[in-house]
Structure 1
Amino acid sequence: MPHRFENAEEWAKRFDDPERDTWQKPDEVVKALALPEDAKVADIGAGTGYFAVRLARAVPRGRVYGVDIEPDMARYLGERAKRENLGNLEPVLGGAEDPRLPELVDVAIIVDTYHHFGDRAGYMRRVHESLRPGGRVVIIDYRKESPRGPPAEHKLPPEQVRGELESVGFRQVGTHDFLPDQYFLVFERG
């Protein structure tokens, strides 16, 4: 599903709208990740930093890479990290085929973004290579029946996501069901 997300300041009004907290439940999501304080985390499709800033606060002795393919989003996230005094949050200008992470990470989280990937298997192979042994990838995306998110024809069922990730060496190790509009799948690097 190709889609451009230029003009970060405009997108921030939507992405960081406090109303989003009621259904996205970001604090519960971060808590469910059970991250050690020194974890290295990649927020892939970080956008304006809705999750990245929360993750950075959750891992004060760790590092968070906010990955986005839009240069303006990476710029905005870097400025936001400075503004919010989050020295452990680093924007990364990723590619459409590769997150371009500067080091191996413990966890990669992909929220509301997986359905945008063109070559999902190829991209997830790169994510697999970017994780430490035993590292996890978390996919949170919209259920088909959800009134939120992209049009229904662009939404992927969790079974399809599971199959795609298993085909590149991940194995599902968990799921959470507290999000009203999305599935929350946890995979481990095999």
Structure 2
Amino acid sequence: MRRTSVYYSHSRITPGAWGEPPLTILDIVRLTAVRVGAAFVVILGAGIGAGWLLLQYDEGLGFREEADRIAEVLQLRPGLIVADVRAGSGGWTVDMAKRVGQSGRIFATVSPNNPAHEIFQALAEAEIDNVNVIGRTPGPSQRLPLDCCDAILLRGVYHDFPDRETIARGLVENLKPGGRMAVIDFGEGTPEQLSGHGLAQETLIAEMETAGFAVEQVIDDWFGNAYCILFRRPVER
């Protein structure tokens, strides 16, 4: 078996019998830098990947925590009929549909910025079949049946309605007497409200009381910069 001897000098390392060109100190430094750089890229990539996974986990955890809190506020249970107004891509619709079960029903109204197929896709992926999807309407009406709902959810959408007073009057008619409605929105002075997405609590309460709702509970510390106000349709109006 042929042996290889390596000769050391102050300026280079020379493989003795293989015939390769000698490696200078500069070559060694470059090779070391390349290897260290590659290791750094691997570590950095792993860190970014772990950070992305952690972000996804946190977002999922945040969703579950808020979904549980919504269910608690609206007292969701099997058999209830609930409306998800401007349901977006359908995540909250799916969660509430699971909670009310086959004996219950969800009405999901389509958001202007989210095509209906996004909700249908979410329902299909979750194998949910107790949801009625209501398409967009040209006017302020949400096309919900009168006295249909035990509970209504408006999450981050009420401030976007151009005619909020009309919407509020319609929603009070959509709730059954004694029914609950949770409005989640961004308060005055928050970054979201300053950028046009939010509504002062006092304004929301005044509009809902004018429409015929009664304030049940005000939750200032919801999630992030949001608040949640729970309203009821009085049993006797």
TM-score, with normalisation over the residues of structure 2? 0.66
**Secondary structure in structure 2 of the residue aligned to 1:180:** coil
Q: State the Cα distance separating 1:22 from its structure 2 match.
A: 2.8
| Aligned-partner SS, 2:133 | strand
Is 1:68 matched with 2:68?
A: no
Structure 1 residue aligned with 2:66 = 25
More divergent stretch after superposition (74-83 vs 156-165)? 74-83
Q: 1:66-91 CA deviation, whole Å, 9 max, x = no partner?
A: 11243853222123212211111221
Match of 2:210 among 155, 167, 184: 167
Counterpart residue number, 2:12? none
Distance (Å, rounded) in 1 between the aligned partners of 2:163 and 2:61: 30
Instruction: Call closer, same or farther: CA 1:20–1:140 in 2, change over 3 Å.
Output: farther
The number of equivalent residue pairs is: 174
Structure 1 residues 106 and 155: alpha-carbon distance in aligned structure 2, compared to 1, 3 A threshold: same
1:84 counterpart letter in structure 2: A
Amino acid at match of 1:67: T
Which residue does 1:182 correspond to in 2?
Answer: 226
Cα displacement string for residues 29-79 of structure 1 (whole angstroms, at most 9, x for unaligned residues): 223321121110000010101211111111102101111243853222123
Partner of 1:50: 91
C-alpha change, 1:179 and 1:154, in structure 2 (3 Å) is closer
Q: Which has the higher helix share?
A: 2
Distance in 2 between residues matched to 1:68 and 1:107, nearest whole Å = 17
Moved beyond 4 Å, runs of 4+: none
1:157 matched residue in structure 2:
200
Distance 1:36 1:22 in 2: 21
* Percentage of matched positions with identical amino acids: 27
Q: Distance in 2 between matches of 1:160 and 1:71?
A: 25
The one-character-per-residue Cα deviations of 1:103-127 (angstroms, maximum 9, x if unpaired) are 6111111000011011101011111
CA displacement at 1:145 relative to structure 2: 3.6
- Give 1:2-21 correspondences, 5 Å limit: 19=59
| C-alpha distance in 2 between matches for 1:153 and 1:120 | 15
How do 1:118-137 and structure 2 match up within 5 A? 118-137=162-181
**3-state SS of 2:211 partner:** coil
SS in 1 for 2:228: strand
- Unaligned regions of 5+ residues in structure 2, if any? 1-55
Q: Distance in 2 between matches of 1:126 and 1:97?
A: 9
1:101 counterpart residue number: 144
Partner residue, 1:5: none
Task: Return 5+ residue gaps in structure 1 as ranges.
Answer: 1-15
1:87 to 121, 126, 129: 129
Residue 100 of structure 2 corresponds to residue 59 of structure 1: yes
SS of match in other structure, 1:122: helix
